[in-house]
Amino acid sequence: MSITSALWRFPSVQMAWRNLGRNRIRTALATLGIVIGVVAIASLGIAGVALQQQATANLGTLADEVTVTAGEDSTTEGVTEEQVEEIRGLAGDAAVVPKKSNRTTLTSRDGQEARVSVTALTEASALYDVSAGDNPDRLQSGALLTNSTATQLGFELGDPVEYDGRLYRIRGLIESQSGFGGGGNELVLPLSALADQQYYDSVTIVAANGREAQRTADAIEARFNEGDEEVLSVTSFASVQENIDAFLNTLNLALIGIGSISLVVASVAILNVMLMSTIERRGEIGVLRAVGIRRGEVLRMILAEAAFLGVIGGVVGAAVSFAVGLVVFQVLAGDPTLVFGWESIRYLLIGFGFAVFASVLSGLYPAWKAANDPPVEALRG
């Protein structure tokens, strides 16, 4: 069933659809302007969403973590066991992972060496993801090694690594981008490996989300640091994430504003097309009025033409923007299916809605002018 036959019950809409087909080049050019405007708005909005998701992915889980170390005014060289217990009380359900650290050199069977950082802790699974092997909740024996280091030295699961005269068998291989500041060479051992160190070098709190992380950081600051005194240094990336989100939201609005200019220009083009169309059909409209067609019917016919332009341009523009979004997410995030998320789809709806609204708005004056033109004057030309 064609669109014309589907709309036969609405004479003004049917005439509007037919009128658009009478000058297809002019209609196509006006629609192209709408398509460009929708693509500008929706594509820029989707690109902003992709940038925001990529920034969040690059920051990783750091926004959910709080790191505590000894401050400038601390009387100890690290974080004490008593302070760790107080931090546990302030952190609620968040995982609290005290750590000791050092550095060492690992040597492969063929004599190749790699300088690595040593981290001693218990709750390994709270901070690390492994690509192979075990990731124990409580690391009591064995060791974890970054995958890149194992590859460099030719180590495999079950191989022994030596630290401070003791051998530890590799239980798991850490993903290279896992952990706090991941990406370096790291050997993770049980706390007993650094039992000679009295204090913890740092404590990492892993909260459920950035808001909880910031709340915990504020609570620790209030408990241990009074005024300008810094007994414990507290670092949280939650505020960084919030600042990034705020900046990218502002950037999105700016990009949409720039894209809207294209649609405004397209609206002017539609206004011109509708005015030219009503002028060319002035005599025809006069005949319709003379045979009894009311002003309201003429008004609806012209507005329907403008609405058709907006709907067609909006649909085509949204489809093109969707295709652009697939490419953008593939390039920036490596996953084109992310375009199906509401954060992206809403910009397609915004672009479509703006296109229809701008088109109808542009058709108001030509419609009013055609509807109020006296039939006698219209027939005289």
Q: Is 245 exposed, middle or buried (0-12, 13-18, 19+ CB in 10 A)?
A: middle
Closest-CA residue to 234 (of 256, 214, 207, 258): 214
Closest-CA residue to 282 (of 364, 374, 359, 363): 374
Share of the chain above pLDDT 70, in %: 84
pLDDT (average), residues 372-378: 63
> Does the pLDDT value for residue 285 go beyond 50?
yes
What angle in degrees, to the nearest 10, is found between the helix axes of 295-332 and 282-290? 130
Closest-CA residue to 351 (of 41, 36, 44): 41
Which pLDDT belongs to residue 96? 92
> Does the pLDDT value for residue 350 go beyond 50?
yes
Which pLDDT belongs to residue 280? 67
Per residue in 97-131, pLDDT (tens digit) is 999 999 999 988 888 899 999 999 999 988 888 98
pLDDT (average), residues 284-297: 69
| pLDDT category of residue 167 using cuts at 50, 70 and 90 | very high
d(CA 178, CA 101): 17
> Does the pLDDT value for residue 355 go beyond 80?
yes
Which pLDDT belongs to residue 344? 85
Per residue in 204-239, pLDDT (tens digit) is 998 887 778 888 988 999 999 988 889 999 888 766
Which pLDDT belongs to residue 82? 94
| pLDDT category of residue 182 using cuts at 50, 70 and 90 | very low
> Does the pLDDT value for residue 14 go beyond 50?
yes
Compare 110 and 6 and report the one with higher pLDDT: 110
pLDDT (average), residues 307-314: 87
State pTM to two decimals: 0.58
d(CA 176, CA 154): 16
Which pLDDT belongs to residue 180? 47
| pLDDT category of residue 11 using cuts at 50, 70 and 90 | low
| Helix (H) or strand (E) segment spanning residue 223 | helix 210-224
d(CA 271, CA 30): 9
pLDDT (average), residues 74-79: 91
pLDDT (average), residues 320-334: 87
d(CA 204, CA 206): 6
The residue type found at 247 is: F
Which pLDDT belongs to residue 364? 83
| Helix (H) or strand (E) segment spanning residue 145 | strand 143-146
* Segment of 78-82, 227-231, 329-333, 377-381 carrying the highest mean pLDDT: 78-82
Contact 263, 355 (CB under 8 A): yes
> Does the pLDDT value for residue 378 go beyond 90?
no
**Would you state the structure tokens that stand for residue 232, as one six-digit string?**
């414990």
What's the whole-number average pLDDT of the chain?
Answer: 82
> Does the pLDDT value for residue 278 go beyond 80?
no
pLDDT (average), residues 71-91: 92
Residue partners of 235: CB distance under 8 A and separation at least 6: 66, 67, 68, 69, 217
Contact 174, 186 (CB under 8 A): yes
> Which sequence spans correspond to the domains of the chain?
3-58+243-380, 63-237
Out of 10-14, 150-154, 253-257, 303-307, least confident range: 10-14
* Residue 18: C-alpha distances to residues 11, 146, 209, 316, 375 (Å): 11, 69, 57, 20, 22
| pLDDT category of residue 301 using cuts at 50, 70 and 90 | confident
